[in-house]
Copies of this chain bind each other. A is one copy, B any other.
Amino acid sequence: MRIAVDVLGGDHAPDEILAGVVLALEQGFPAGDLLLVGPESLIQEKFGETSDCPAIVHTDVKVEGDESPTEALRSKPTSSIRLCADAVAQGDANGLVSFGNTGATVASAIIVLGLLQGIRKPGIAVSLHGVNGRFVMVDAGANPTPKPEHLFLYGLMGCAYAQDILDATNPTVGLLNIGGESSKGNPVLKEAHALLEASGLPFVGNVEGNQIFEGSVDVIVADGFSGNTVIKVLEGFGEFLMAGFARLGEVASETAKDTFRELLGVADYTEVGGAILLGVKGTVVVGHGRSEARAVPPALFAARDEVEKKVDKHIIEWIARHSKTATPS
């Protein structure tokens, strides 16, 4: 078991990424299970005095946050994210974690690792907490303009994830929409609704934004535009609330503040292991570009968890079980 880490990916890379790796080691992540992809001398400097320096693949080449993913893939064959994907493809690692340019991570995964059989577009799965426990939303931004069959496949991928990672025994599926009736939303959502309904999946129908935190549905299928907007709005609103609560000062007890932070943390997907790219061959964890060191350990543990639970294998099984509806042209 080995997880490749993109040391150069992220707004605060490489310092916060390396600091995060140190945190993960302190939390019991084995150094032997890591493959750090980045500047060798810098990494050695960081781990030089300890005996458990992880394995290193050297590169100084990074993809910037605002760089075109396809352009970067072409012009930078030795970028840190590309070498992470190469390591997984060659069997030197079982999965990768990157906090860099999400588009570049997705593109590298598609091109280098390839898609699982039957999958047309990968989707980003983000798990959040609801009143009744965790649920997963797919897609959180890999595919902003999906076709109906992509959304249907996100439902299947989400089921595999919910079963493996969230321990949902009979995962239920809902479609993020702006009204309860099947006639609501745009043509793509209406058709996705029909596909999900015909599939035999435990599909509960449309779920509106105010219902997702009820946690009564295990898998929320979303188009990547809406899914991405949801997690970003939660992030911004969380920051707004935190700032307002901080102004309380002494008036709020420490316990109240702790609870507040804890509650807001449930909307922070970086605290529960980042986001996972489903549908590619291998495990890919996509962290938030703004992440600091504390976001690294949950991402590493999430990557290991996904590898161990064989989510990709189970996605293929879910697709096979629903092959009739899962393979529209």
- A-B contacts, 18 of them at CB < 8 A, read A144-B178, A144-B185, A144-B186, A186-B225, A209-B230, A209-B233, A209-B235, A209-B236, A210-B233, A211-B236, A225-B226, A233-B234, A234-B237, A237-B237, A240-B263, A244-B259, A251-B256, A253-B256
The CA of A244 and the CA of B263, in the complex, are separated in Å by 7
Contact A248 B255 (CB under 8 A): yes
Q: Distance in Å from the Cβ of A250 to the closest Cβ of chain B? A: 10
Interface string of A225-252 (1 = CB under 8 A from B): 1101111111111011101110010011
Contact A178 B263 (CB under 8 A): no
Chain A residues in the interface with B (C-beta under 8 A): 66, 130-131, 141, 144-145, 176, 178, 180-181, 185-186, 208-214, 224-226, 228-237, 239-241, 243-245, 248, 251-253, 255-256, 259-260, 263-264, 266-267
Contact B251 A252 (CB under 8 A): no
The CA of A9 and the CA of B99, in the complex, are separated in Å by 49
Contact B237 A213 (CB under 8 A): yes
B residues in contact with A176, CB < 8 Å: 229
B residues in contact with A245, CB < 8 Å: 259-260, 263
Contact B240 A213 (CB under 8 A): yes
The CA of A129 and the CA of B31, in the complex, are separated in Å by 46
Contact B267 A237 (CB under 8 A): yes
The CA of A26 and the CA of B210, in the complex, are separated in Å by 32
B residues in contact with A180, CB < 8 Å: 66
Q: Distance in Å from the Cβ of A139 to the closest Cβ of chain B? A: 11
Contact B259 A255 (CB under 8 A): no
Number of copies: 2
The CA of A226 and the CA of B141, in the complex, are separated in Å by 14
Q: Distance in Å from the Cβ of A236 to the closest Cβ of chain B? A: 4
The CA of A213 and the CA of B239, in the complex, are separated in Å by 8
Q: Distance in Å from the Cβ of A248 to the closest Cβ of chain B? A: 5
The CA of A130 and the CA of B236, in the complex, are separated in Å by 10
Report which of B229, B230, B240 forms a contact with A130, defined as CB distance below 8 A.
B240
Contact B232 A229 (CB under 8 A): no
The answer to whether A256 and B252 touch (CB under 8 A), given A186-B145, A209-B235, A232-B210, is yes
B residues in contact with A234, CB < 8 Å: 209, 233, 237
Report which of B225, B243, B255, B256 forms a contact with A185, defined as CB distance below 8 A.
B225
The CA of A130 and the CA of B245, in the complex, are separated in Å by 14
Contact B233 A233 (CB under 8 A): yes
The CA of A145 and the CA of B226, in the complex, are separated in Å by 13
B residues in contact with A255, CB < 8 Å: 248, 251-252
Question: Looking across the interface, which residue of chain B has its beta carbon closest to that of A141?
Answer: B178
The CA of A229 and the CA of B116, in the complex, are separated in Å by 31
The CA of A235 and the CA of B241, in the complex, are separated in Å by 14
B residues in contact with A252, CB < 8 Å: 252-253, 255-256, 259
Q: Distance in Å from the Cβ of A317 to the closest Cβ of chain B? A: 32
Contact B253 A236 (CB under 8 A): no
The answer to whether A233 and B230 touch (CB under 8 A), given A251-B256, A259-B252, A263-B245, is yes
B residues in contact with A260, CB < 8 Å: 245, 260
Q: Distance in Å from the Cβ of A238 to the closest Cβ of chain B? A: 9
